[in-house]
Amino acid sequence: MAEIGKDIEKAARILSSGQLVAIPTETVYGLAGNALDEQAVLRIFKTKKRPEFDPLIIHLGDKSQLNEYVREIPEELQRLAERFWPGPLTLLVSKKPVISDLITSGLDTVGVRIPRHPLTRKLLQSLDYPLAAPSANPFGYISPTRASHVQDQLGEQIPYILDGGVCEVGLESTIVGMEEGQVIVYRLGGISVSDLEQTVGKVLILPQSSSNPKSPGMLKSHYAPKKPVVLGDLEALIEGYRQKGTVFAVLSFTRTFPDLPESLQLALSPDGDYDEAARNLFSSMRLLDASEADVILAEELPEIHLGKAINDRLRRAAAK
């Protein structure tokens, strides 16, 4: 199993040797490798069993490093970076040749992020290369939001997990780029659409892609438990599955159901706090996936604040 600790220097030594380290960010834990070392990048794909047509994000410690890896950042995206970096924002921008096509799946753009988790920022600032770091989980499964999640899923395949506690945001970063002068949201995430639009005006949200995505995290079926997830009106779903005699679990926004076992239901935020709901989403799905239920019944949230991003993850978890 992987060693779990807070030793930044040890993590840096392992990464510089070409091996992988799980790192904490404010969004989810990432499976990190030297983004300039193709063997390390290939090891990420192999460890996650991730298809090589799904591009990766590179992580930097400071905006001063950008010029080494990207050609230019449009003015609108610069405004977003000024407001939201370090933080859960990934910019999709034109790359320089030093970034391998393996990272970008042959595209001429690369996703770049400056995470704000203090441990990982210190690690990144100690390195002379960026880190490629998709979520530290087997491809398509629920993203990890604490070190123990990584240990459970990948602990036998990596040497070290940098333990930064529970992820503050709990949803992946929002991915934003530009096409023909229009700001595009390629993946909903830890920054709400309304916050983006306060900075750059109206944005266009792209639907997910089923293959050959333009950016990370665009696949239609993703972030999924092993058990089926069914979205809809919870009262109707509960009644229907009760009549079928199916053992089910319930994932709600705020509600609990007194006639259901406590072990088979979770509310993302009893107080209706969208940040808390986002933070609890993946860990709640993981707990219900480990329960005795045969199916997980869930409801969508109102499409405000982070509700859009949470619903995006729920729909992909429920996609066949």
Amino acid at 190: G
Is the domain of 120 the same as that of 261? no
Give the residue ranges of DSSP H helices in the chain: 8-16, 38-48, 75-84, 101-104, 118-126, 147-154, 193-200, 234-244, 274-289, 307-318
| Residue that finishes a domain, picked among 170, 196, 216 | 170
Whether residue 101 is contained in a domain is answered as: yes
| Residue that finishes a domain, picked among 125, 153, 170 | 170
Residues annotated within the binding site are: 27, 50, 59, 109, 113, 133, 135, 143, 173, 187, 223
Is the domain of 65 the same as that of 144? yes
Q: Which domain holds residue 16?
A: 3-74+92-170
Whether residue 85 is contained in a domain is answered as: no
Per-residue pLDDT of 271-320, as tens digits, reads: 999 999 999 999 999 999 999 999 999 999 999 999 999 998 999 899 86
Q: Residues 251-271: what's their mean pLDDT?
A: 97
Per-residue pLDDT of 18-67, as tens digits, reads: 999 999 999 999 999 999 999 999 999 999 988 776 799 999 999 999 99
Is the domain of 236 the same as that of 165? no
Residues annotated within the binding site for L-threonine are: 27, 113, 133, 173
Tracing tokens 């090589």 back to the chain, one arrives at 52
Identify the CATH number of the domain in which residue 264 sits: 3.40.50.11030
Per-residue pLDDT of 156-196, as tens digits, reads: 999 999 999 999 999 999 999 999 999 999 999 999 999 99
Whether residue 16 is contained in a domain is answered as: yes
Is the domain of 154 the same as that of 263? no
Whether residue 189 is contained in a domain is answered as: no
Vertex 284: Cα angle to 5 and 174 (nearest 5)? 75
Give the residue ranges of DSSP H helices in 85-224: 101-104, 118-126, 147-154, 193-200
Is the domain of 25 the same as that of 166? yes
Predicted pLDDT of residue 320: 66
First and final CA of the chain: distance in angstroms?
32
What's the structural domain count of the chain? 2
SS (H, E, C) 1-12: CCEEECCHHHHH
Is the domain of 157 the same as that of 237? no
Is the domain of 42 the same as that of 162? yes
Please report the sign of the dihedral spanned by the C-alpha atoms of residue 105, residue 111, residue 114, residue 118.
Answer: negative
Contact, 191 vs 88, CB < 8 A?
yes
Whether residue 59 is contained in a domain is answered as: yes
Is the domain of 258 the same as that of 116? no
Residues annotated within the binding site for ATP are: 50, 59, 109, 135, 143, 187, 223
Q: What is the model's pTM? A: 0.87
What is the gyration radius of the CA atoms in the chain, in angstroms? Answer: 19
Whether residue 136 is contained in a domain is answered as: yes
Cα–Cα nearest to 2, from 214, 149, 169:
149
Identify the CATH number of the domain in which residue 98 sits: 3.90.870.10
Is the domain of 141 the same as that of 242? no
Is the domain of 145 the same as that of 253? no
Phi/psi-derived region of residue 118, left when phi > 0, alpha when psi is between -120 and 50, beta in every other case = alpha
Whether residue 81 is contained in a domain is answered as: no
Is the domain of 120 the same as that of 253? no
Identify whether 207 is preceded by a cis peptide bond (ω within 30 of 0).
no
Is the domain of 145 the same as that of 282? no
| Residue that finishes a domain, picked among 170, 190, 210 | 170
Main-chain dihedrals φ then ψ at residue 191, nearest 5 degrees: -115, 130
Q: Residues 79-96: what's their mean pLDDT?
A: 97
Whether residue 246 is contained in a domain is answered as: yes
